[in-house]
Amino acid sequence: MIYALLAGFAVGLLAPVAVRALRDRARWLITLLPLGLFTYFSHYVPRIQSGERIFFHYSWLPDLEIGLSLCLDGLSLLFALLITVVGAIVCAYSGEYLSGHRDLGRFYATLLAFMASMLGVVLSDNLIALFVFWELTSVTSYVLIGFDHEREAARSSALQALLVTGLGGLTLLAAFLLMKQVTGTFETSAMLQGASQLTASPLYPAIFFLILAGAATKSAQIPFHFWLPNAMEAPTPVSTYLHAATMVKAGVYLLARFSPILGGTELWQNWIIPLGAGTMVTGAWLALVQKDLKRILACTTVSALGICVLLIGMGTPTSLHACMLFLAAHGLYKGGLFLVAGIIDHETGTRDAEDLGRLGRAMPLTCAAAFLTALSSAGVYPFLGFIGKELLYESTLNASLPFLFTSSAVFTGMVFVTMGGIVAVRPFFRGDAQLPKIPHEPPPGMWLGPLVFGSLGLLLGLFPGILHSSLIVPAVHASLGQSVALEHPAWHGWDLKLLLSIGSLLAGGAVFWKWSIVRKFLAGWSIFRQVGPAALYDSSLTLLEVIARRQTRFFQSGRLNIYLLTVVLTAVAFLSWALSRDELSVSDLLLHRWRDVRLYEAIIAVVLLTSTVIAVKADSLLVAIVALGVVGYSVALVFLLFSAPDLAMTQFAIETLSVILLMLVLFRLPRLKNLSRRRNRLRDGIIALSAGAVTALLVLAVNASRGGGKIVTFYAENSLVLAKGRNVVNVILVDFRGFDTLGEITVLTVAAIGVYSLVKLRVPSGEEGDR
Amino acid sequence: MSSIILSTATRFLLPLLLLLSVYLLFRGHNEPGGGFVGGLVAASAFSLYMIAFNVEKARRILRIDPRSLMGAGLFLASVSAWISLLQGRPFMTGIWVEKVFPVIGKVGTPFLFDVGVYLVVIGVSLTILFTMAEE
């Protein structure tokens, strides 16, 4: 299983090489991967169907209870199959769509990496693994949306998507950590055992809202819906894959996954149902105003995601059944519609629905494929979309506010009919057209994709049993947390929901007929552009920049004495705060046998103090440096006397080198002058003295509380046993705390490179004016 | 300011100091010493040479660019940290060779790590010192 999961990353790495070597033929080779994965996952269908859940565990960070534990159940299998089948079609399609593009290799690499991370999201049982894959999908989608990175719009949309979904990822991490705190485990399957533990916990509201924020940002729920239409800057295959079929459904997946653990409460229903319903209506409304084919599709996708969230919020067996079926149906028809939009864009050079027309004769096969997907989108019998819509109406009719939810669902259904028609029917049959290019039928790699999507929608609609028992029922069971009998979707005869279905079909047809007028009418009062969440996003970004600039100016003044002052003052402040919390009396601190002071210790102390004063008072730099050297050597002597030979040796060597270094610099520096004002000198003196005092107190305090030092005894006892060395100091440096040392030597190297480049690599004086 | 006494003494002191630095490195695991202080001693040996003669000559007798020493040291230290992964144990687990070598003593990844520290310290100190001295 782990190989199936990671294959995407591995093949992705090789994809650029393959593209360079095989050119356009590479796409068939690359398409083999998702196809193979699809076959691999489908062989699990019988086992999942029998109610089994298959676990795989790979150790990762055992000390932190983080493991790559994977769990395949009905829900993850449904998603895995959707991801791989759409992935295969998109891989084949992009080869044509981006044929000859110089970055095709990079495109495939990121696309496959995205596929692997998406599989990781739906397969992970461990929450931390899930989080990592979740963020990986955000990062790869950032690269994919910004694929055309030379355009400013592509870059800013990519950044927007990354910031919004990345923010959600972080709230998710916080939620996962809280869940771990309550249940003591990171494994979702283990949480399922004691599900009531979470909902009863006082932390439950916090967990719920954090999870909800994560799901809402990823699945473009209001008020975060704005990033999805903007993400249409991506190449169309990316929009198909990420923004219709898979990534945006990760939030839906998350809610479905956690519904047995966190769901069923009042909080859950009171928030998720309005959120989903609001998104559903907003998305449908926004779709009516658009005229760019891809933006239309993006807005209907927002609406569809709202439907899924709404259905999960209701949490009944029927609604979850509707959600899973709608999810599959939507993935297929929306994927197909996006691919059709891509073909139209590719062949005509425009995506403006007002300009398109008369394409039917030029590309009959595309037209057929488009027709099939549009019918499924509209929910016409016997397509898969029809069953999805039936189940949706059935769920809303049984909900708590049947009239409100049903009417909004019917409105949404109507918009889906209209918009399917606008994207997939109108461009082919409309009488007049203004096209930048003369359209031709695209190569088979392109029309094959939507045709497969469309036929799947028809086939699975004609034989609903195929999907029902193999995938939908296990998925519903997984998101319910228990198994219930589900009615086989079939012809129900004339009843209310069929009438509603027909009603939305007719209304949608009517709006389609007069679409141009309706659109212009609605566009007249779209005020959302000025005050909507997108505007809020923009202004918060500007604010962030202003704050960052101020902060940088404040902290990075470029003056050494300010830096020193900041560092020392911060240390003094925190240390004295920590010390004041420690309940140490003065007598504790001064307990240390004053009478035991030897004569030579006193002499060293006097030398130390005297040379410090000399260093401060010195008139020439040379004297100051020598005095500082004396201070350093005296400290080394102190180390030696108090049995720390390692420290003493190091201190001697360091002191020698730094005196040499200071001497080298000395000749370049101007003579010492009294530049600062008396007040500043006083201030610096006080700060320096308080730093010294706090450090001295710290040392005394550490000595006074030595008694309970388990660390000391641990190192002393285990140095030889575990690390085979008798010199505890060195063993700590290279073994027990070796990781710290690795960091330190890295920092040292960076510092040396910094010195070297500051001194040696000066900008030639002529170019300085440019900076 | 060339002094015959200093330059003559340095010719003899340099090898002795280097020997001392290597000695400190090797015995570090069991007695006072170690890669850090060993590296510092070696760096002072070369800086002594630099003072007695000049930077040019010090560079020449070092042979290797101190910047490469930093890189080599960091590389060695990180390689030593990865070795344990090959045995399926967590990052940076100390792994020791059973056989005891003459003079060097026991050999293991922490020792290799210490050699890395030794090289980084020489490289960093001399990069800074030489850079400053050349200006």
Report pLDDT for A630: 94
> Is this complex's ipTM strictly greater than 0.90?
yes
Question: Do residue A726 and residue B29 have CB atoms under 8 angstroms apart?
Answer: yes
- Domain stop point among A692, A707, A722: A707
Can you tell me which residue has the tokens 């994809």?
Answer: A15
Same domain, A501 and A646: no
Question: Do residue A660 and residue B129 have CB atoms under 8 angstroms apart?
Answer: yes
Same domain, A289 and A343: yes
From the CA of A564, how many Å to the nearest CA of chain B? Answer: 21
Check CB contact of B99 with chain A, cutoff 8 Å. no
Range of the domain at A751: 709-771
Determine which of B21, B111, B122, B125 to mutate to test the interface with A (most A C-beta atoms within 10 Å).
Answer: B125
Same domain, A660 and A727: no
**CA distance linking residue A505 with residue A503, whole number of Å:** 5
**CA distance linking residue A374 with residue A336, whole number of Å:** 9
Cα–Cα distance list, A191 to A93, A179, A212, A295, A475 (Å)? 41, 9, 18, 40, 18
- Domain stop point among A487, A511, A535: A511
Q: Which residue has the higher pLDDT, B1 or A749?
A: A749
- Alpha-carbon A323 to chain mean position: 25
**Chain A residues within 8 A of B30 when measuring between CB atoms:** 725-727
* Residue in A656, A727, A756 nearest the CB of B28: A727
Q: How many domains does chain A have?
A: 3
Same domain, A580 and A721: no
Residues 6 or more apart whose Cβ sits within 8 Å of residue A124: A68, A69, A70, A71, A130, A133
Same domain, A340 and A483: yes
Report pLDDT for A213: 92
Range of the domain at B44: 4-134
From the CA of A247, how many Å to the nearest CA of chain B? Answer: 34
- Domain stop point among A480, A511, A542: A511
A723-740 pLDDT tens trace: 777 788 888 888 888 888
Please say whether the beta carbons of A350 and A356 come within 8 A: yes
Same domain, A644 and A755: no
**CA distance linking residue A649 with residue A639, whole number of Å:** 9
Question: Do residue A657 and residue B47 have CB atoms under 8 angstroms apart?
Answer: yes
From the CA of A541, how many Å to the nearest CA of chain B? Answer: 40
Question: A669-672: long-range contacts at Cβ-Cβ below 8 A with a sequence spacing of 24 or more?
Answer: A669/A621, A671/A620, A671/A621, A672/A618, A672/A619, A672/A620, A672/A621, A672/A624
Please say whether the beta carbons of A252 and A326 come within 8 A: no
**CA distance linking residue A473 with residue A377, whole number of Å:** 22
Question: Do residue B40 and residue A668 have CB atoms under 8 angstroms apart?
Answer: no
Report pLDDT for A768: 46
Same domain, A598 and A467: no
**Chain A residues within 8 A of B106 when measuring between CB atoms:** 724
Same domain, A486 and A618: no
Question: Do residue A738 and residue B123 have CB atoms under 8 angstroms apart?
Answer: no
**CA distance linking residue A15 with residue A20, whole number of Å:** 9
Q: Looking at residue A643, which CATH number applies to its domain?
A: 1.20.120
* Chain B, window 34-73: residues with a beta carbon less than 8 angstroms from a chain A beta carbon: 34-37, 40-41, 43-44, 47, 51, 67, 70-71, 73
Task: Please give the structure tokens belonging to residue A649.
Answer: 């040796």
Same domain, A699 and A718: no
Strand partners, A61: A66
**Chain B residues within 8 A of A726 when measuring between CB atoms:** 29-31
User: Which positions of chain A have pLDDT values less than 50?
Assistant: 768-771
**CA distance linking residue A448 with residue A95, whole number of Å:** 12
Report pLDDT for A751: 93
Same domain, A717 and A703: no
**CA distance linking residue A310 with residue A48, whole number of Å:** 26
Cβ-based contacts under 8 A for chains A and B: 139
Whether A182 maps to a domain, the answer reads no
From the CA of B113, how many Å to the nearest CA of chain A? Answer: 7
How many C-beta atoms surround the C-beta of residue A667 within 10 A? 8
From the CA of A250, how many Å to the nearest CA of chain B? Answer: 33
* Statement: residue B42 has pLDDT above 90: yes
How many alpha carbons lie under 13 Å from residue B123 in its C-beta half-sphere? 27
* Residue in B36, B114, B132 nearest the CB of A665: B132
Same domain, A616 and A691: yes
**CA distance linking residue A427 with residue A351, whole number of Å:** 10
Handedness of CA A448, A452, A458, A463 (dihedral sign): positive
Q: How many domains does chain B have?
A: 1
Same domain, A724 and A685: no
Check CB contact of B30 with chain A, cutoff 8 Å. yes
Check CB contact of B21 with chain A, cutoff 8 Å. no
* Chain A, window 715-734: residues with a beta carbon less than 8 angstroms from a chain B beta carbon: 722-727, 729-731, 733-734
**Nearest C-alpha neighbor of A342 from the set A364, A368, A370:** A370
Report pLDDT for A384: 83
Task: Please give the structure tokens belonging to residue A300.
Answer: 């209907």
